Chains A and B, each alone.
Chain A
């Protein structure tokens, strides 16, 4: 077995999981809101990218930016009009509301675009193979890994070195204390919700080549997004990063060696891990 190519393939899938899940982790950490519709925003982003490229002829990068902005705006609107009503509701109500929202998104996309899988037409420089010296590998996977690392660095700087980042960290650690210090957590939440959904949208567009894109997308990958968040720890960007990479690589390795039912081990491992460390990789024990 070619270890390097298996590692690269898994890392690329892991990066997509990271880009999609990081927003979910932060918003869940901030408000404790169980948002199962997060994958739906990733799907909407993917469709925005595909349709903008097909109908308006936008280049891939511009379509990704458009998907990010459009979905962030939609998410902010939904947060103000719908999500805000359920902040004080029980977790079951939140789960019911967001899973209902997923079904609306699935049906809406099936109705307007159709049930079939959508393909992304990558620009020529992202297609084919790149020679790394010691091995040749799929260019797009390498690009995804590079993008994921850059995004991780940017998010880390944003969280550690900016005022807003400090406010988010404070609110995740102790919301009531942060509020009493004058941090407007509600506004912070709207902002992170929009940004997180926008990132999910970018992840949907970036990942379409690898994870595919069809109306069932948010339900199919929901368990993976939740595993990443649970294992990484709520509101921990670096935790999500490493959890996503571990899951991506593990999933890839298991599919290579046990193509039939290999993913079962992932769920078993997740259960074992969470029993030992319920707060996740870098989460603080409550």
Chain B
């Protein structure tokens, strides 16, 4: 007994020593975002979101340390992101990968994460089937189906629309958005009478001919998916200039087209626009009020967090959870196990990671743009709670694989 107790003491001491060593452990996170090029603004929003999490949750990683190793993914083609991931794994020996604004970036990087067994936390890239590409992927952002399917249901049920035309930017998330809206709308009794591909994501096209075609079909709603940013501003202008509102056609879309950082530049033309999305800076909850206030203090009164910033914020929260759960030593199986079923009280409301798909479960908010004190504000007009990625839920198209 004596001897055993003594041995027990030694083991306990050894365990303490290991734990003590681990407390100095630094977890390296490779962050792949576009810091230059067309997506530079988006990269900055996600990066700032990650910073804000660290600032507002100072003790989240204690007693461990986190080091962010940033790499520029430049163009949306996926090629540069893949090179960056390769370098982060082989040279920097990071423990986790994070970021990924554009779907091609995540798609190109997924096989590397699988081969090197590096957990990959996706902070934007919304093509639905991306999570099926690697067991190492978990997504804290959204799938195009979240907003698309919800908007389809809402257009039929809340807006009482019978017919719809869909206009979409011709690349994977655009086609996803089309499929999602169509499924949601037609299941709820509506009918999509036309689908118009409107050029690629690289450049903003002249939307006039596409919108003219949509107008001639006289639908109740016109669902538009274009990449967030400059495309969206141009969509509003063309919608107003062609008099589609006067023709009784409601413009609806996922919240990409009302990204908070671009909202005020859309002008009065945008009033009345209805979107479904998982976040806007006008959401009224304690976590969001805290984030918005701290954000404006840090980056200026005219700045604002947006859905991308919150995805960066929540991504850091997920990583902090993994690091604490695993005691600072990241292994792939342990990390993925920790992420599955993780719950968090985010500025976008309650979120969790679906253990079956490693994709996010969250609320979808239906908002209408209104003018308040000369500023465009997103007024909450409805919420669908705990929405899963319906693409994988319904096993639609490529999501079935």
Residues of B within 8 A of A175 (CB): none
Query: Contact residues of A with B, CB < 8 Å?
Result: 1-2, 5-6, 9, 13, 115-117, 119, 127-129, 136, 138-141, 209-212, 214, 216, 220, 251-253, 255-257, 259-260
Task: Name which of B37-45, B300-308, B321-329, B379-387 contacts chain A.
Answer: B37-45
14 contacts across the A-B interface (CB closer than 8 A): A13-B208, A117-B234, A128-B240, A128-B241, A128-B243, A129-B243, A129-B246, A212-B206, A220-B203, A252-B212, A253-B209, A255-B209, A255-B210, A256-B212
CB distance from B240 to the nearest CB of A (A): 7
- Whether the pair A216, B206 counts as a contact (CB closer than 8 A) is no
Most chain-A Cβ atoms within 10 A of its Cβ — which of B196, B206, B229, B230?
Answer: B206
* Bound complex: CA A15 to CA B21 (Å): 72
- Whether the pair A127, B213 counts as a contact (CB closer than 8 A) is no
Closest 7 CB pairs of A and B: A255-B209, A117-B230, A138-B241, A256-B213, A129-B243, A117-B204, A260-B197
CB distance from A115 to the nearest CB of B (A): 5
* Bound complex: CA A5 to CA B212 (Å): 8
For B203-239 the 0/1 string (1 means CB < 8 A from A) is 1111011101101100000000000011001100100
- Whether the pair A9, B210 counts as a contact (CB closer than 8 A) is no
Q: Which residue of A lies closest to B208 (CB)?
A: A9
Known: A119-B237, A136-B246, A216-B202. 8 other contacts (CB 8 A): A1-B216, A2-B215, A13-B206, A139-B241, A210-B208, A211-B206, A212-B205, A252-B212
Q: Which residue of B lies closest to A263 (CB)?
A: B199
Q: Which residue of A lies closest to B36 (CB)?
A: A115
Q: Does B265 contact A (CB under 8 A)?
A: yes
Q: Which residue of A lies closest to B39 (CB)?
A: A115
Residues of A within 8 A of B265 (CB): 119
CB distance from B238 to the nearest CB of A (A): 9
CB distance from B134 to the nearest CB of A (A): 31
Residues of A within 8 A of B282 (CB): none
CB distance from B260 to the nearest CB of A (A): 16
Q: Does B287 contact A (CB under 8 A)?
A: no
Residues of A within 8 A of B204 (CB): 117, 212, 214
CB distance from A246 to the nearest CB of B (A): 16
- Whether the pair B208, A140 counts as a contact (CB closer than 8 A) is no
Considering only CB atoms and an 8 Å cut-off, how many residues of chain B contact the other chain? 31
- Whether the pair B216, A2 counts as a contact (CB closer than 8 A) is yes
- Whether the pair B170, A115 counts as a contact (CB closer than 8 A) is no
Q: Does B242 contact A (CB under 8 A)?
A: yes
Q: Does B198 contact A (CB under 8 A)?
A: yes
- Whether the pair B38, A115 counts as a contact (CB closer than 8 A) is yes
CB distance from B70 to the nearest CB of A (A): 19
Most chain-B Cβ atoms within 10 A of its Cβ — which of A2, A129, A259?
Answer: A259
- Whether the pair A216, B240 counts as a contact (CB closer than 8 A) is no
With contacts A128-B240, A140-B241 known, is A116 near B230, CB below 8 A? yes
Q: Which residue of A lies closest to B41 (CB)?
A: A116
Query: Contact residues of B with A, CB < 8 Å?
Result: 37-38, 40-41, 170, 196-198, 202-206, 208-210, 212-213, 215-216, 229-230, 233-234, 237, 240-243, 246, 265
CB distance from A244 to the nearest CB of B (A): 15
Residues of B within 8 A of A13 (CB): 206, 208
- Whether the pair B208, A252 counts as a contact (CB closer than 8 A) is yes
- Whether the pair A214, B203 counts as a contact (CB closer than 8 A) is yes
CB distance from B35 to the nearest CB of A (A): 12
With contacts A115-B40, A116-B41, A116-B229 known, is A252 near B209, CB below 8 A? yes
Most chain-A Cβ atoms within 10 A of its Cβ — which of B196, B208, B265?
Answer: B208
Residues of B within 8 A of A140 (CB): 241
Residues of A within 8 A of B37 (CB): 115
* Bound complex: CA A220 to CA B241 (Å): 24
- Whether the pair B213, A259 counts as a contact (CB closer than 8 A) is yes
With contacts A116-B38, A260-B170 known, is A9 near B209, CB below 8 A? yes
- Whether the pair A259, B212 counts as a contact (CB closer than 8 A) is no
Q: Say which residue of B212, B233, B234 sits within 8 Å of A6 (CB atoms).
A: B212
- Whether the pair B241, A127 counts as a contact (CB closer than 8 A) is yes
Most chain-A Cβ atoms within 10 A of its Cβ — which of B40, B196, B242?
Answer: B242
With contacts A129-B246, A259-B197 known, is A212 near B203, CB below 8 A? yes
CB distance from B270 to the nearest CB of A (A): 13
* Bound complex: CA A6 to CA B41 (Å): 36
CB distance from A276 to the nearest CB of B (A): 27
CB distance from B272 to the nearest CB of A (A): 15
Residues of B within 8 A of A2 (CB): 212, 215-216
- Whether the pair B234, A212 counts as a contact (CB closer than 8 A) is yes
* Bound complex: CA A259 to CA B241 (Å): 20
CB distance from B111 to the nearest CB of A (A): 29
- Whether the pair B206, A210 counts as a contact (CB closer than 8 A) is yes
CB distance from A108 to the nearest CB of B (A): 16
CB distance from A106 to the nearest CB of B (A): 13
Residues of B within 8 A of A136 (CB): 243, 246
CB distance from A231 to the nearest CB of B (A): 20
Residues of A within 8 A of B198 (CB): 259
* Bound complex: CA A129 to CA B241 (Å): 7
Q: Which residue of B lies closest to A5 (CB)?
A: B212
CB distance from A125 to the nearest CB of B (A): 14
CB distance from A215 to the nearest CB of B (A): 10
Residues of A within 8 A of B41 (CB): 116
Residues of B within 8 A of A211 (CB): 206
Residues of A within 8 A of B246 (CB): 129, 136
- Whether the pair A119, B209 counts as a contact (CB closer than 8 A) is no
